[in-house]
Amino acid sequence: MTVATIIIALLIFGLLIVVHELGHFLVAKAAGIRVEEFSLGMGPALVKHRRGETLYSLRLLPIGGYNRMAGMEPGDDFNDPKGFNRQSLGWRLGVISAGSLMNFALPVFLYFLVFLTAGVPVNEPVVGRVTPGWPADQAGLRPGDRIVQIQEEKVTTWNRVVEIIHQRPGDPLRVVAERDGEQLTFTMTPREDPRSSLGMVGIEQSLIRYSPGQSLVMGFKQTGQFLVLLVVGLWQMLTGQVPADLVGPVGIVQLVGQAARFGLASVLSFAAFISLNLGVINLLPIPALDGSRLVFLAVEGIRHRPLDPEKENLVHLIGFMLLILFMIAVTYRDVTNIFGG
């Protein structure tokens, strides 16, 4: 786990926290609610700055954030006209749900950037990039060459090209490729990757980039597809159809490192996926999460009168403590998995 990986992970965590809390903040301001503090992180404050009625703070632990709104905490003046509790049910539902909605909107933008700038891989056997000094470069293979045959096997997909090369570290390969309508033959010997023991020749597949309009459409489509997969996967875990596979902050940092090896597009895609996870999990009816607050508001709408705020806050406090204990347990498991404990 390198310093660069940790920095990238912190930037991703920071982005997700900012986006989520900004959703709550903007809707609260639109509703006329007084936001007493907008905080990124938990624990002791590193930086504080007051602007207007709101204190903006950056705190030590990058494990979350919060908006402290008037009329939400024990001891608040629940008759304050600018308090959260004095707003209409619709506004309060909007404030609580806005965090997750922002986490669903962020992936659309991130995938838009990926499709527009980095592009997406094409599963055709066309070389997109050749790494200088590697076997493919030394043999004379160039970007744009279409690989049609390796040894005696005809190939039609990039995946098959990769499979063959991975399986033959140290073995000379005869590669036939088309360039400008002419077939050329190259001989190259894959190097063995010390981390994976797979053969590598230093080539990357070609990418296709989209127009701004197409990228936006693809961003919505990709976000929707992954959101459906997440909800289905979560349901399968909750119903015991598949084993629970959860990672904490330490595990996420390790996954960031793996994504970073494949470039910026991979990091942005990973950040989009984590943002979707955060949005979905926050909507679960678990005490201390946004989903439980939405449940309390829904009950209020059915009963036509609010619940006792002290009792509700006690439920959220107990839920928060349990979530912290759960996070510690998951983090311990991630650490032991990394170091083989």
- Residues 96 and 136 placed together within one structural domain of the fold: no
**Are 70 and 144 in a shared domain?**
no
Tell me, yes or no, whether 93 and 132 share the same domain: no
* 16: nearest Cα among 249, 236, 230: 249
- One domain, residues 58 and 111: yes
pLDDT tens, residue order, the chain (341 aa)? 577 777 888 888 889 989 999 999 999 999 999 999 999 988 899 999 999 999 999 998 877 888 999 988 767 777 788 998 889 999 999 999 999 999 999 999 999 999 998 888 888 999 999 999 999 999 999 999 999 999 999 999 999 999 999 999 999 999 999 999 999 999 999 999 887 889 999 999 888 888 999 999 999 999 999 999 888 888 887 777 777 666 666 667 677 777 777 678 888 988 999 999 889 988 988 887 889 889 989 988 998 887 777 777 777 777 777 777 766 666 666 567 656 54
Same-domain pairing of 143 and 248: no
136 and 107 fall within a common domain: no
- The total number of structural domains in the chain stands at 2
| List of long-range contacts for 55-64, beta carbons under 8 Å, 24+ apart | 62/10, 62/13, 62/14, 62/17, 63/13, 63/249, 63/327, 64/17
DSSP string over 275-292: HHHHHHHHTS--TTSHHH
User: How far is C-alpha 291 from the chain's CA centre?
Assistant: 20
- Rg for the chain (alpha carbons), in Å? 26
Task: Give the domain extent around 297.
Answer: 3-118+235-338
Q: Is residue 54 part of a domain?
A: yes
Q: How far apart are CA 180 and CA 177, in angstroms?
A: 10
Q: Please identify every residue annotated as catalytic.
A: 21
* Separation of alpha carbons 287 and 271, rounded Å: 26
Examine the domain organization and report whether 243 and 110 are in the same domain. Answer: yes
CB 123 within 8 A of CB 158: yes
Is 315 contained in some domain? Answer: yes
Residue 98 and residue 132 in one domain = no
Task: Please report the sign of the dihedral spanned by the C-alpha atoms of residue 296, residue 297, residue 301, residue 307.
Answer: positive
Same domain, 102 and 133: no
Q: Is 288 in the same domain as 329?
A: yes
In a domain, 225, yes or no: no
pTM beyond cutoff 0.85? no
Residues 87 and 51 grouped into a single domain: yes
